[in-house]
Structures are given as structure tokens and as C-alpha cells.
Amino acid sequence: MTAGRRLRDIIAREGLAHAMAAHNPLSARLAERAGFHAIWASGFELSAAYGVPDASLLSMTQHLDMTRAIAERVALPVVADIDTGYGNAINVMHVVAAYGRAGVGAVVMEDKLFPKDTSLLAGGRQELVRLEEFQGKVAAACAARPDPDLVVIARTEALIAGAGLDEALARAHAYVAAGADLILVHSKQKTPAEVMDFAARWDGSRPIALVPTAYPELTEAAMKATGKIGLVIYGNHAIRAAVTAMQEVFAQIRRDGGIAQADRRIVSVEDIFELQDVPAMKAAEKTFLR
């Protein structure tokens, strides 16, 4: 069964699928072990891991290579963040075909101009492309997917751009008409009222996807109760958790002038060996090294 088929089945079976962000295979494996349904191959997280802004600075190759590495190391379907599609509709065809061959279950593409600013950046450039242009990009993505079950998620940034609920709904309907399988609607409001209003007015022709970074009090139970939200993406918690932990441990080592106290707070080297599948490697050595 392909990754796209697995993701579709999870949404159909569970009503709401939950995806955790990852920026490398290790963070993806930890998310898998924690019980998430899918992995979000996050452009924001990978940009942060490279130490650069999430502003279309990473190349497609950089993101694709890491996404492929993640897909190879987890059994969960991977949802790939392809930003604005790296160009026009023709670029999108090339990009979606490449990500499909890399084994992802879904791609998410947003309707902003290239180069884009990350959505929640105060004072960021949040400029939308023409509705008709993005319809063409969505249709191109659907035409180019090597697996017909690969899920094409169209992300409208109309609320982020301040264009209002009516514009967000109009764009969402247009993107569904172009072939989108899900509609991701994003908001920078500090409460979920705006996205829940969108859900209430949505016709339900396709499931909605949400990224509740700005309004963390919205629960999965509340999302599922709408009957219209099929996917929730926790878009940046892996990198934020990693930064929090590293800051705390690094600071303690400097305070103590050594690692004795910090060492008690972190996982063992053996735990890392296990995450790397070292025991399986050693077992294979006994079988095959001659």
C-alpha cells in the first residue's frame, strides 16, 4: 500500500489524522514512536536546522533530500511541505513528481508569491498569487503525481494575508474544483475562532487541515467534533523542543564546568544506539559477515 493510500485510509478510519513535524529522520522516528499518524516534513523546521529564515532560502534539493531520508526511516506517511511549489505550474509538476518518487504520502502547497515569508512572522510579506494561477498549480500537481493516491493539499493563506473569511472560502472552493484533496487554512489569530468560523461555513466537500501553532488551546476533540477537519499538523514542535532542551543542557554544562549533572538528565548513548538500529546492524553482522 502506498503512503498516499495509507494517509487516506487513516483519515477515513480515524476522522482526524495527526501529524508531527520533523526536520530529520531521528526526530521523525521519535514522532513515530510517540504514536502520531503521520510526519510533517517541515520547511520551517529544516530552515531552522540550517540556521536560516523560512523565506524560500532552502533549495528544493535540500528539502527533498531530507524528506526522502525521513520517508526511508519511518513507516508513517510523510506529508511534504513544498511551500509555494518552487515556481510556476510547470515547476510544480517537476516538484510533485520528484516528491512522489521519494515516497511521500502528501504534498502541501500554499498560495503565496515566491519568495515567501513564514506565515506567523510579525510584519512579514504575506502576498497572495492570483486565484486562477494557483488553480493551475493545483491542477498541475494532481496531473503530475506518480501515484494517483498521493494527497494534494492546497493551503490558502488568505486569512494570514488579512484578506478575510469570504476570500479564504472562495479560494478553497476554487482549489477543490482544481482537484485538491484537502484544504489547509492557516490563521495567525491567537484564538481558534477564525478557523472554526471557516469550518462552520465550509461545505465539507473536502476535509480541512489545520496547523494550530497560534491557537494551541484548540484540542483534537474539538476539531474532530466539527466533522470537517481531517488533518491536524503540529508544525514546529520538534525543533522548538530540541532548542529548549539543548539550551537547558548547554547552560548547565557551562554553569557546572563539566557534564556530570547534565549527563543525568539526558538519554544514554545506548538509547541513541537503539534509535539508530545498531542492535539490528550487529545481528546482521553475525549472520552475514564471514
Catalytic residue among 54, 111, 149, 181: 54
Q: Which amino acid is at 263?
A: D
Q: Which helix (H) or strand (E) holds 108?
A: strand 106-110
C-alpha to C-alpha distance for 234 and 248, rounded to whole angstroms: 23
Neighbours of 158 (CB within 10 A): 24
Q: Are 204 and 165 in contact (CB under 8 A)?
A: no
| Domains of the chain as residue ranges with CATH | 3-236 (3.20.20.60), 243-288 (no CATH)
Residues 25/43, Cβ–Cβ less than 8 Å:
no
Residue 117 known to be catalytic: no
pLDDT number for residue 115? 74
pLDDT at 126 over 70: no
Let me know: does 28 contact 22? Beta carbons within 8 Å: yes
pTM across the whole model: 0.95
Q: Report the distance separating Cα 235 and Cα 154, nearest Å.
A: 16
User: How far is Cα 102 from Cα 65, in angstroms, rounded to an integer?
Assistant: 9
Q: Looking at residues 34-44, what average pLDDT do you find?
A: 97
Q: Average of pLDDT values for 42-67? A: 95
Q: Is the pLDDT of residue 163 over 80?
A: yes
Mean pLDDT value across the chain: 96
Helix, strand or coil, per DSSP, at residue 219: coil
Evaluate if residue 114 carries a pLDDT over 90: no
Confidence tier at 121 by pLDDT (50, 70, 90): low
Average pLDDT over residues 50-59: 92
23 pLDDT higher than 60: yes
Q: What is the percentage of the chain residues whose pLDDT exceeds 70?
A: 97
**Mean pLDDT across 103-123:** 84
